[in-house]
Amino acid sequence: MAVTYDKIAYDEVELGLRSIISTEFSNVYIGNTFTMKANECIRIDLISSTSLEQATNYEQREYAINLRYYHKADTTQELVNKAVKGKIDRLRKHLLDNQVDTSNNWAALIIDEIIYDVRDEENEEDLGLHIAEYNLTIQHHNAFT
């Protein structure tokens, strides 16, 4: 007998997050790999999943996600820096406006931390690449049928 299962990690968490972001950032590439198209891109990396509560008819899990927002920009220029920080705040606000999403069974989306101007192997040779890193969690409620 084949095992039936719920497709949560990719379909409801990763694709759900991508879908929500794309409603506000329609001209920005969003995926699970760093692919710079134009001047901006967003990478969603699902890190882990932890059980919060489990019963015979439901389960609640917390999914940890690393989201990176990349900008090709010279942030040493004040107006460019202001624009980049504004877009980072815009993404934060858009995520907070969608903390609960019943179509993807999200009970809560929490932004734990935002790190500005990340410097690592992705941009060590490209000083014009600004990376903002959001560490967030999505609490997902799954009713068993």
Whole domain around residue 88: which residue ranges?
A: 9-143
Residue 62 near residue 120 (C-beta atoms within 8 A): no
What is the tens place of the pLDDT at every residue in 10-20? 999 999 999 99
Q: Is residue 99 domain-resident? A: yes
Q: Radius of gyration of the chain from Cα atoms?
A: 17
Residue type, 130: H
For the chain, what is the domain count?
1
Residue 53 near residue 61 (C-beta atoms within 8 A): no
The reported pLDDT for the residue numbered 55 is 86
Residue 60 near residue 53 (C-beta atoms within 8 A): yes
Q: Is residue 3 domain-resident? A: no
Q: Is the pLDDT of residue 110 over 90?
A: yes
Give exposure, 17-54, as e/b (b: 16+ Cβ within 10 Å).
beebbeeebeebbbeeebeeeeebbbbbebeeeeeeee
What is the tens place of the pLDDT at every residue in 28-42? 999 998 888 889 999
Q: Is residue 103 domain-resident? A: yes
Beta bridge partners of 106: 101, 140
Q: Is residue 87 domain-resident? A: yes
The answer to pTM > 0.75 is yes
The span from the CA of 72 to the CA of 39, in Å, is 5
Q: Is residue 1 domain-resident? A: no
Which helix (DSSP H) or strand (DSSP E) does residue 22 occupy?
helix 15-24
Which whole-number Å values give the CA distances from 40 to 30, 48, 84, in the listed order? 9, 26, 10
Cα atoms found within 13 Å of the Cα of residue 12, Cβ hemisphere only:
22
Q: Is residue 2 domain-resident? A: no
Q: Which of 3-12, 27-36, 53-62, 94-103 has the lowest mean pLDDT?
A: 3-12
